[in-house]
Each structure stands twice: as structure tokens, then as C-alpha cells.
Amino acid sequence: MFSLPQGDGIGVEGWSDEIPIQLHGISKDDFEQLLKALFHRKHGSRPNLPQSIEQWTSVLMLSTAWNFEKLRQASIHALMESNIGAVDRVVPSQQYDIEGWLLPALNELAKRPEPITLEEANRMGIDIALRLASVRERVTVQTGCSYSYRDMYGYSGRGADDNLNVTVGSCRDSRMQHCDFSDQIRSTFSTFNL
């Protein structure tokens, strides 16, 4: 910025404290978190290091925007260490192009017994939420229903009913928690960088 021609020097941003550089669209809090992380890398001051997921997300946002690659990797590592939830991994994986986050996060959400909430759908975006719902809804569990009977000659036996019992409940079959939905996710999200 300073190497570009600045004209007569009167009123040029950054030349004095009275005329600071304006960072449009950057909040004070986001910038402070970036400075904390930068200061820690330079001087190793642990107490002021960003602590929360929101603070590290601020560092991730600005380090990505300004191509601070080492700081970006440090923020990704810090977010993973903080046990960030699946929905919270989906959103930044798309916003900040984080490789290796989207598929495991979607798989985790596909496995869980609880449905995707409206709040989660809004956070992930309707396109991702609908595709994820499609993956979840395509799963079918087939169980046969066995029964006993007595034929017209009085002999008893056992058989299987080809009709399936369907139970409508508040959550999915618990066996789905152990399934791997990766192939279905790859086909449904084929246009995404998984």
C-alpha cells in the first residue's frame, strides 16, 4: 500500500495517527483476535491468545482474507482442538475452503439420530441442509416380521411376513449411528469440494 503513488501526502491513510488506515468491513473485535494470535506467535504470550471458537473463527477469517497461511493453519488447528461441532465445521469449511472438514462433518450429521434443526439448516445454508436431508432420508432399514401359525391340519410352524412393520418415532433407528454415509454424501454433494 505504501509503495503505491500517494499524491501530495496530505490526507494519506497511515502516515499519521490522526489519519489511520481504514479497514472497511473488519470489526474491531475480529482485528483484535488476529493481533492476539500474531503477538502470541511472535512473543509466546499465552494468556491473551484467542480462547473461544468465535475468536479463532475471527482469526481464521482474517488470516484467510490476507493470506497469512501459517496463522490460518494455526487457527484451523486451534478450532479442531476445541472440539468444534459438526455444523460449526460445515460452515467454515465452505466459507474458508478448509479441506478435510466437510465430508466428516456431513457424515457425523447423517449418522446422528436427531433431525437437522431449522437453526442448523439456516446456519449451513438451505442447499447443504436439503442435500443432507436427502442423504438421511434415502436410508431404509428392512426388518422382517416373524410369526407363528397353525395350519388347517393343526400343525404349528413359523414364518416370515413380507410386509414390514413401520414405526414412526421421534428419532431414527439407533443402528444408523454406526453407518458410514460417505459414498452417499459424495454422490449427493458431487459439486462440492469434499
Range of lowest pLDDT (32-36, 137-141, 157-161): 157-161
pLDDT tens sequence across 171-182: 566 777 888 889
| Dist. CA 95–CA 93, nearest whole Å | 6
CB contact at 8 A, 102 and 192: yes
Q: For residues 80-95, give the mean pLDDT.
A: 91
Residue 112 is classified by DSSP as S
Q: Work out the pLDDT band at 17, boundaries 50, 70, 90.
A: confident
Kindly state the cell numbers that stand for 5.
503513488
Q: Note the maximum CA span of the chain.
A: 110
C-alpha distances out from residue 179 to 108, 113, 135, 171, 191, Å: 10, 12, 12, 16, 23
Kindly state the cell numbers that stand for 31.
482485528
- Is pLDDT at 147 greater than 50 in this prediction? no
Prediction pTM value: 0.70
Q: What is the pLDDT of residue 178?
A: 82
Q: For residues 85-104, give the mean pLDDT.
A: 93
Q: Where are the domains of the chain?
A: 22-83, 86-144
pLDDT tens sequence across 29-84: 999 999 988 887 666 555 567 878 899 999 999 999 999 999 999 999 999 998 88
Q: What is the pLDDT of residue 13?
A: 77
